[in-house]
C-alpha cells in the first residue's frame, strides 16, 4: 500500500515516461497481462492507455491489471493510467519513507 507522499513521488516520475501498455478492443488478454508483468519487472513503473474501443473504463482496466500482476495503481487520468510494483531482486526506484504512526 502506497502513502500519498509515495504516490505523488511516483506520479512525478511517471510524467517523463512513455506509454508502453495499450488496452483496446480485445480488452485484457493473457498477452496484455504478460506484457504488464514483464514491463513491471524490468522498469517498476509503467504507463498504460485504454483505447475508446475497450469495453472497460480506464479505472477498471488499471485495477484488473493491477490485481492480476500484484501491483499498485498510482493514478488514472483520462484514458491513461500508471502502475507500480517494486522489484524485490533489483529495485530501481527508491520511495520516500512512510511517516511513522504515533
| pLDDT tens string 72-101 | 999 999 999 999 999 888 888 888 886 666
Nearest to 32 by CA among 81, 77, 93: 81
CA distances from 93 to 12, 22, 24, 50, 61 (A): 12, 23, 29, 25, 24
CATH topology of domain 4-84: Translation Initiation Factor IF3 (3.30.110)
Sign of CA dihedral 17, 11, 55, 29: positive
Length of the chain: 102
| pLDDT tens string 4-20 | 999 999 999 999 999 99
Beta strands in 26-84 (DSSP E): 45-50, 72-77, 80-84
- Domain locations in the chain as residue ranges: 4-84
| pLDDT tens string 33-70 | 999 999 999 999 999 999 999 999 999 999 999 999 99
Sign of CA dihedral 36, 64, 45, 15: positive
Mean pLDDT for the chain overall: 92
If one counts every other C-beta atom within 10 angstroms of the C-beta of residue 84, the result is 24
pLDDT given for residue 38 in this prediction: 95
Amino acid at each position: 500500500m502506497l502513502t500519498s507522499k509515495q504516490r505523488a513521488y511516483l506520479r512525478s516520475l511517471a510524467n517523463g515516461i512513455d506509454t508502453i501498455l495499450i488496452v483496446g478492443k480485445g480488452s485484457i488478454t493473457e498477452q496484455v497481462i504478460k506484457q504488464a508483468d514483464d514491463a513491471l519487472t524490468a522498469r517498476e513503473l509503467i504507463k498504460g492507455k485504454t483505447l475508446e474501443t475497450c469495453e472497460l473504463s480506464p479505472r477498471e482496466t488499471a485495477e484488473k491489471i493491477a490485481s492480476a500482476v500484484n501491483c499498485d495503481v498510482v493514478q488514472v487520468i483520462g484514458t491513461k493510467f500508471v502502475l507500480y510494483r517494486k522489484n524485490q531482486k533489483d529495485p530501481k526506484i527508491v520511495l520516500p519513507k512512510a511517516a511513522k504512526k504515533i
